[in-house]
Chain A
């Protein structure tokens, strides 16, 4: 069965410091991968998605970036964190079944980031 891991689970960082959040998926090949952010009391907002190694699409312009160095690894980074980057970050995966079939997205446990 497929599993998705995220770490760290919790992170407290000072403003201006760098960030690296990691997401890995097991039990599937060539997944689509996603980074979402959930601000307090709100729904999720898609930040980045990737359909393959080295292929990253950004949905929201900001000081965050994403990379996919391996098929089942997705990394969210920042060179300098802002206070507004605080939130709950969720990674998700899906597998495209066919050209006309979109599969369900399954989420990881998330990382709670607090920027002070």
Chain B
């Protein structure tokens, strides 16, 4: 079974600084997907960024980028130029691709990390 570990329960950063959130996972699959989701106080789960395991290039979305190390099974999120609106819980998640043998697109989540951006 796949597991996702976020070892840092909480972090704080000053506005405009850069912060890195760590995530490790365990799987025997060779092809899979990794995600970072953000959950602000409203509690809606919002997709931040997605990475396909077969792609060597790290995904980027504006101020958000990942450092994907497949051999090390590490998937960290870097937030540049932190903004007050980045304050939220951040969840790392793993998903196996769909397969015809009934595999579901089940997301396996880490326990999350609370990020606070201070003015």
Contacts and interface: CB of A to CB of B under 8 A. Distances in A.
A44 B91 contact: yes
A12 interface: no
Contacts of B100: 99
Contacts of A106: 47
Interface string B75-116: 000000000000000010001111010101111011110000
A34 B98 CA distance: 14
B46 interface: yes
Given A57-B104, A100-B97, A110-B43, A43 B91 contact: yes
B111 A88 contact: no
A104 B98 CA distance: 11
Interface residues of B, number: 26
Given A101-B97, A102-B33, A102-B95, A46 B43 contact: no
Interface string B10-32: 00000000000000000000000
Q: Which 7 pairs, one residue from A and one from B, show the smallest C-beta to C-beta distance?
A: A43-B109, A107-B45, A102-B97, A44-B109, A109-B44, A102-B98, A43-B111
B56 interface: no
19 contacts: A34-B105, A43-B91, A43-B111, A46-B104, A49-B104, A49-B106, A57-B102, A88-B43, A92-B45, A92-B107, A94-B105, A99-B98, A104-B35, A104-B47, A104-B50, A105-B95, A106-B47, A107-B44, A107-B45
B111 A105 contact: no
Contacts of A109: 42-44
A90 B47 contact: no
Contacts of B43: 88, 109-110, 112
Contacts of A83: none
A41 B106 CA distance: 20
Interface of A: 32, 34, 36, 41-46, 49, 57, 59, 88, 90, 92, 94, 96, 99-110, 112
A48 B73 CA distance: 28
A59 B95 CA distance: 15
Interface string B60-73: 00000000000000
A82 B111 CA distance: 24
A114 to B, nearest CB: 14
